[in-house]
Amino acid sequence: MVGIEQFTRSFLRAGASALLLAALSSCQTDDFKPNPGEGGASAAVTPANDTGLYNQTLGSGSVKVAYLGVRRADQPSRQADSEYRDGAALAVNTLGSDVVKLTMLETTEKPDAIEAAARTLARQQVSFIVTTARGAEFEAVQRGLGGLQVPMVAFQTNEAVLPENVYPFVSSPTDSLIESASFAMAEGATHAVILASSPAEKAQADRIASQIKAFGGKVEPIIELSGGTLPAKALNSWSKADMVVLMPGIKSPGDVLKKADAAKPPRPGRKIVASAVLTAQDLSEPKLTGSIVCRYDQNVQARIGSRYMASYGMPASAQAGYGFDAMAMAIGLAGRFREAAFTPEQLMSPNGFSGSLGVFRLEGDRKVRRNCDIFKVAKGSYVFFQKAPPTL
């Protein structure tokens, strides 16, 4: 099995028509390691006018795709958007400059400006859009497209409410807890209790609960903590659960577990499922030793780090990985199916795709699911335990 990069390069060779989309799935180890001496051309930003917005074209392929960036006022968002864009550009420069023609267009947050940018892309008749747009900005994008049905990938999580033809692409802490819970069940857990810190987090916990039930497990009513302590009625089910899922907003989870276990002894062999936001103090807490943590960001450097560093002079971030994977997916599909590449059937192939952040799949309810490496808490840190499985 090969990943997106190997699939794309193989397609460009004679006889590539024999390859199947299934070749995009599976292997997650060396798929994106650069070949010796290989380096992507730098995708320098070309200012379109005195505001410094970029307007650039990369590649010369027959399939027209686009990257629509929305410039934010706050620096963290602008930095993240820049890394998404650079990752996408790196994919074109190193994987598919003769497969796709990528228009990279940036606009301000004003609805009229977003609509005008989308109108430009509609005139170019692009087949696929990767974008940093969010929320009500999609209404402006749709107006600009003027009825042209263009599938989009947005750097939003599964929690975002998106229009019908827009797919989220960023994995959230909730997604990582779902994957960790799945791993805990593979280790024998069958009965979960989920601790949330607020009503908003409780709503996210509902999605985890539904997934655990879909996996065949049982879930107690979600517990919303009050002052870091379990309500008395919640302790009735404490000894039944052999899995405790800690939502990211739980503060001092070790203390929470100690208080609850003192009031009601835990079930022997209980699994703790946590997220990658634990503090140094949390990681050193004995109660959390052995906690299962899913991480998506562990292989970015091994897969695209050398080329990203050569092109942009900085380490590849998770945002760069997301940008690379979104565009690499587009290149792989375009190389195989040309203008028919971006139908729902192709985008939501059950085989999924293998990228710099692991194996991922766009699913029928317009969600993204991504495998991850499993770590366990030990000796004050996250310790690698098991590589992500090669398929979803």
Class of residue 14 by CB neighbours under 10 A (exposed 0-12, middle 13-18, buried 19+): exposed
- Calculate mean pLDDT across residues 210-236: 91
**pTM for this entry:** 0.83
Residue extents of the structural domains in the chain: 55-171+298-370, 173-295
pLDDT in tens, 311-358: 999 999 999 999 999 999 999 999 999 878 999 999 999 999 989 998
Q: How far apart are CA 29 and CA 3, in angstroms?
A: 9
Q: Which residues contact 246 (CB under 8 A, 6 or more apart)?
A: 195, 253, 256, 272, 273, 274, 275, 291
Q: What is the DSSP letter of 16?
A: G
pLDDT in tens, 191-202: 999 999 999 899
Place of tokens 């503090």: 279
Indicate if the pLDDT at residue 107 is higher than 70.
Answer: yes
Indicate if the pLDDT at residue 301 is higher than 90.
Answer: no
- Calculate mean pLDDT across residues 86-102: 96
Long-range contacts of 40-46 (CB under 8 A, 24+ apart): 40/90, 40/93, 40/94, 40/307, 40/308, 40/310, 40/311, 41/93, 41/311, 42/311, 42/312, 43/85, 43/86, 43/89, 43/90, 43/92, 43/93, 43/104, 43/311
Q: How far apart are CA 143 and CA 273, in angstroms?
A: 43
Q: Give pLDDT, residue 34.
A: 34
| SS3 state of residue 13 | coil
Q: How far apart are CA 251 and CA 96, in angstroms?
A: 46
Q: Do domains 55-171+298-370 and 173-295 have the same CATH topology?
A: yes
CATH topology of domain 55-171+298-370: Rossmann fold (3.40.50)
Indicate if the pLDDT at residue 98 is higher than 90.
Answer: yes
Q: Position 131: which residue type?
A: T
pLDDT in tens, 60-85: 999 999 999 999 999 999 999 999 99
CA 209 to chain centre: 20
Q: What is the DSSP string of 262-292?
A: HHSPPPTT-EEE--TT--HHHHT-GGGTT-E
Indicate if the pLDDT at residue 19 is higher than 90.
Answer: no
Q: Give pLDDT, residue 232.
A: 87
Q: Give pLDDT, residue 51.
A: 65
Q: Give pLDDT, residue 171.
A: 94
CATH of domain 173-295: 3.40.50.2300
Which helix H or strand E contains 378, and what residues bound it?
strand 373-378
